[in-house]
Structure 1
Amino acid sequence: MKQKYSVTQINNIVKKHLAGATIEQVCLEYQISVATLYRWKANYLDVSEQILTRLDKLEQENQVLKQMYAEEKLSKRLER
């Protein structure tokens, strides 16, 4: 499942809330739930930008590898 926001964007959204925007304002602007904002705040608050960028790249690579594995497994099933 593709995320609507990248890790960098999530970090910027959390920073916007911490800078003084209300939860309601941020949630309405980005069309996210309050629970999502709190979850992002808990997960992405103290992580540096460089680590977040690397994490985002690794998650994308992981998705590609999962897709390749699924395709390979499906092709093996079809060969039987």
Structure 2
Amino acid sequence: MRKRRFSVEQMIGVLKQAQVGVPVAEVIRKAGISEQTFYRWKAKYAGLEVDEVRKMAQLQEENLRLKQLVAELTLDKTMLQDVLSKKW
């Protein structure tokens, strides 16, 4: 996975600059990002604080781990059912 160029704090800082009235063109020029990147960040992080974003990322990671665990257990269950259904 590629390392992020901007931290969560920096992303939210850029969004807050635009929120307080600095023109978007000036904000993206100073940050060195594209307009598309700015609006993608805005769609994802608008109105959130840094701790909320970190909590969201933590929950997404936990959700991924739990989904993988469910998939493994489902596979185990299916294999055991196949073994039990066969006549010896």
TM over 0.5: yes
TM-score after normalising by structure 2 = 0.57
1:6 and 2:7 are equivalent in the alignment: yes
Q: Equivalent residue for 2:42?
A: 41
TM-score after normalising by structure 1 = 0.62
1:32 and 2:53 are equivalent in the alignment: no
- Alpha carbons 2:15, 2:42 under 8 Å: kept: yes
Kindly report which structure 2 residues correspond to 1:30-69, keeping only aligned pairs within 5 A, or say none: 30-55=31-56, 58=58
Q: Which structure would you say has the larger RCO, counting Cα contacts within 8 Å and 6 or more residues apart?
A: 1
Q: For residue 9 of structure 1, what is the amino acid of its counterpart? A: Q
Q: Equivalent residue for 2:74?
A: none
- Alpha carbons 2:14, 2:27 under 8 Å: kept: yes
Rg comparison, structure with higher value? 2
Q: How large is the RMSD of aligned CA atoms in angstroms? A: 2.1
Unaligned runs of 5+ in 2: 62-88
Q: CA deviation at 1:52?
A: 2.0
Q: How many residues align?
A: 59
Q: For residue 51 of structure 1, what is the amino acid of its counterpart? A: E
Q: For residue 10 of structure 2, what is the amino acid of its counterpart? A: Q
